[in-house]
Chains A and B, each alone.
Chain A
Amino acid sequence: MISFQQVSKIYQADGRTITALKDVSFEVQPKEFVSIVGRSGAGKTTLFKLLMAEEKPTSGSIFFEGQDVHQTSPNKLPFLRRKMGAIFQDYRLLPSKTAYNNISYIMEVMGAPEEQISEDVPKVLEIVGLGERSANLPEELSGGERQRLAIARALVHQPDIILADEPTGNLDPFHTQEIIRLLLKINEMGTTVVLATHNREIINNISKRVITLDRGEVIRDEAEGKFIL
């Protein structure tokens, strides 16, 4: 489903060269649950940015469902991105839209009919515990609520894959467990999940495949991995 082939990403900043990813190669099969672990700055977020074509790799290729992501024309890119449900580390909610509209926006983008939107959005808000907050703007929500809203947005259009970048970073232990349970359930129902985290407890409890990144390189890729750094 996903294939990274010798992908490197080098940034130039103030005359310095920063290697965010170095010769990264791995594959993710459909319906897999893969965790990407590593310290802050190990390259987890860069990996997601490259997969979503937010940035271009310095070298190497990335394929999603057989399609070279960075050879996809700008007109076709939205269709590729609609197959992904992204939970961004910095939430990336639409600040001028209410919680309800942040979620309905994705369905509108997909061309879903109004009836379906008014049926699905409250449901998904309820699932992430934001049923009472649907009319609030993101700035009126707490950090944890924003994170849950970002999760709801990634789930609502039932994408082929969920890309979760530190989805529990701002959540208390109770909500962390809830969200991980939710991701596992979605995965059981057939959706591929790629989870980037540095939460040791989560990784050690779920016993799923773990890819470990260190300074931009894949140092470990285990089928039932543990958080080892």
Chain B
Amino acid sequence: MFISLNRIIKSGWVDFKRNSGLSLATIFIMVLAISLATSLFLFQKTSQVLTKTIAEKVDMYIYFNTDLSSDDILVIQQELAGLALIRDIEYVSSDEALKRFVSRHKNDQALMESLEELGANPLLPSLNIQAWEASQYAAISSFLNNSSFNNLIAKIDYQQKKPVIEKLSSIASSINAAGIFSSIILALIAILVAFNTVRLAIYNSREEIETMRLVGASNGFVRGPFLVQGVISGFLAAVITLIVIGVSLFFLSPALKFILSGFNIFSYFVTNLFLIFLSQISVGISLGFVSSWLAIRKYLKI
């Protein structure tokens, strides 16, 4: 058993070196397939980060009547914080709201003058809410409308932001759906091309395979070296892809950082290097192994 395994691996390696031209072509196609899979993975991650960044900028304000004490509002805050839909909730008192308003508009002379003329603080105390996803604001809004403290709420700014929130939520889910769909289609194409390359390589050896069977080699002994070649090709393709993508991201990252609102894709790549490499190796080796297994099957019937 051990002798056979040793011989199969050795023979696979020798054949891999001997058919170097064909092996290189197979590796090249596999590099394309794995690069495509990795790029799609990174694109998915980038689109997730992008939609998350935009979604984070969306929030919701619940304005309370002025006669409500800060303690009452804090009780409501505590109740809302228990909701699974809410990621973050912050109490903004009237004074705090005014401070923020002044600091934001201090250069707007006219606005400042009209505020002074008004005499009192016109801003209402509020709770600023951030949900996990843009689509969750509708549910939070309906929860508030049906809550026991609904009569204490002066207004919810959800209705004003509703169209923006809904559009953002639909864009986010469209990007994800399109990403998943194109990933599947492109991955299938890449797998088919890689499979056909391996099939052609094995087609070249069909007579050799038949002879091996006729002189008494078992299916495992015939198939083994081809599987080893497939695995070597897949492994080398994964290593080459890792290097190519790593170097590309290193040089592209500064430019992309600007577009991706500060997200450093190279750092993300380096942080997840092990996981990405493991996935690439798995894809490469499985592609090589399964393609060889399927392609050789028909010549073993003799």
Contact = CB atoms under 8 A, between A and B. Distances in A.
A5 B222 CA distance: 32
Interface of B: 3-4, 7, 11, 15, 18-19, 205, 207-208, 211-219, 221, 301-302
A82 B216 contact: yes
A92 B211 CA distance: 6
B17 to A, nearest CB: 11
B216 A78 contact: yes
User: How large, as a class, is the contact surface on chain A?
Assistant: 20 to 34
Interface in A67-81: 74-75, 78-79, 81
Interface of A: 52, 54, 74-75, 78-79, 81-82, 84, 86, 88, 92-96, 105-106, 108-111, 113, 153
Contacts of B217: 78, 105, 109
A92 B301 CA distance: 17
Contacts of B213: 78, 81
Contact of B215 (A74, A96, A153): A153
A153 B214 CA distance: 12
Contact of B7 (A88, A96, A108): A108
A52 B3 CA distance: 27
B123 to A, nearest CB: 84
B4 A81 contact: no
A54 B3 CA distance: 28
Chain A binding surface SS class: loop
Nearest to B3: A111
Contacts of A84: 216
A105 B215 contact: yes
Given A108-B7, A111-B3, A111-B4, A81 B216 contact: yes
Contacts of A82: 216
Contacts of B301: 74
28 contacts: A52-B214, A54-B214, A74-B219, A74-B301, A75-B219, A78-B213, A78-B217, A81-B213, A81-B214, A81-B215, A81-B216, A82-B216, A92-B207, A94-B208, A94-B211, A95-B207, A96-B19, A96-B208, A105-B217, A106-B215, A108-B7, A108-B11, A109-B212, A109-B221, A110-B216, A111-B4, A113-B3, A153-B215
A75 B220 CA distance: 10
A100 to B, nearest CB: 12
A96 B18 contact: yes
Contacts, number: 56
Contact of B216 (A54, A79, A95, A113): A79
Contacts of B205: 96
B208 A95 contact: yes
Contact of A109 (B15, B18, B216, B302): B216
A79 B208 CA distance: 19
B211 A54 contact: no
Given A109-B218, A110-B216, 20 more contacts: A74-B219, A78-B216, A79-B216, A81-B214, A81-B216, A82-B216, A93-B211, A96-B15, A96-B18, A96-B19, A96-B205, A105-B217, A106-B215, A106-B216, A108-B221, A109-B212, A109-B215, A109-B217, A109-B221, A113-B3
A73 to B, nearest CB: 12
Nearest to A104: B7
A172 B213 CA distance: 30
Nearest to B8: A108
A140 to B, nearest CB: 14
Which of A88, A92, A106 has the most CB atoms of chain B within a 10 A radius of its CB? Answer: A92
Contacts of A96: 15, 18-19, 205, 208
A81 B214 CA distance: 7
B7 A78 contact: no
Top 9 A-B pairs ranked by shortest CB distance?
A82-B216, A81-B216, A92-B211, A78-B218, A109-B217, A78-B216, A108-B7, A94-B208, A109-B216
Nearest to B15: A96
A75 B3 CA distance: 19
A78 B301 CA distance: 12
Which of B218, B219, B221 has the most CB atoms of chain A within a 10 A radius of its CB? Answer: B218
Nearest to B221: A109
Contact of B214 (A92, A110, A111): A92
